[in-house]
């Protein structure tokens, strides 16, 4: 596994894009709408990892609900894996529970699942695998 990206929940993607562009010295290399999640994302390259900004595009999206209860900030850590089905089985056998056990299409051409924070010390963990 490697840290593929860190997801940050933001209220206004435009304002946060400007902020992270100043911070990292480079513009996002892509912006992408993820229809299935009702979000818009932007990605910044940081070495071999990325920062993913996630803003709500739809009423009642998971991110909007999150931002009603929490401040903007770090939302999830995504681990890149080679074989997502294998890792899901491995982690289920270790007692971890998932928000979605069946990989779905996420941003940046990935198949993704999320582990439930109640079994990961309060950290929302994403596993992602490149779509082959
Ligand atoms: Zn993510």
pLDDT tens digits, residue range 37-54? 899 999 999 999 999 999
Range 2-130: architecture per CATH: Roll (3.10)
| Among the listed residues 3, 6, 1, 11, the one whose alpha carbon sits nearest the alpha carbon of residue 24 | 6
Domain boundaries, the chain: 2-130
| Ligand 1 centroid to residue 6 C-alpha, Å | 7
1, pLDDT greater than 90? no
| Ligand 1 centroid to residue 93 C-alpha, Å | 24
Per-residue model confidence as pLDDT tens digits over 7-40: 999 999 999 999 999 999 999 999 999 888 899 9
| Ligand 1 centroid to residue 5 C-alpha, Å | 6
The bridge status of strand 39-46 relative to strand 49-56 is antiparallel
| Ligand 1 centroid to residue 95 C-alpha, Å | 22
Can you give the pLDDT at residue 36? 82
pTM of the model: 0.93
| Ligand 1 centroid to residue 50 C-alpha, Å | 10
| Ligand 1 centroid to residue 56 C-alpha, Å | 14
């Amino acid at each position: 596994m490697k840290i593929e990206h860190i997801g940050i929940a933001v209220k206004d993607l435009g304002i946060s894009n400007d902020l992270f562009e100043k911070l990292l010295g480079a513009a996002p290399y892509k912006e992408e709408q993820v229809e299935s999640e009702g979000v818009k994302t932007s990605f910044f390259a940081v070495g071999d990892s990325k920062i993913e900004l996630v803003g709500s595009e739809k009423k009642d999206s998971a991110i909007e609900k999150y931002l009603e209860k929490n401040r903007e900030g770090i939302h999830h850590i995504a681990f890149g894996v080679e074989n997502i089905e294998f890792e899901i089985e491995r982690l289920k056998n270790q007692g971890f529970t998932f928000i979605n056990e069946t990989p779905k299409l996420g941003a940046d051409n990935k198949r993704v699942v999320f582990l439930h924070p109640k079994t990961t010390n309060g950290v929302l963990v994403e596993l992602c695998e490149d779509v082959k």
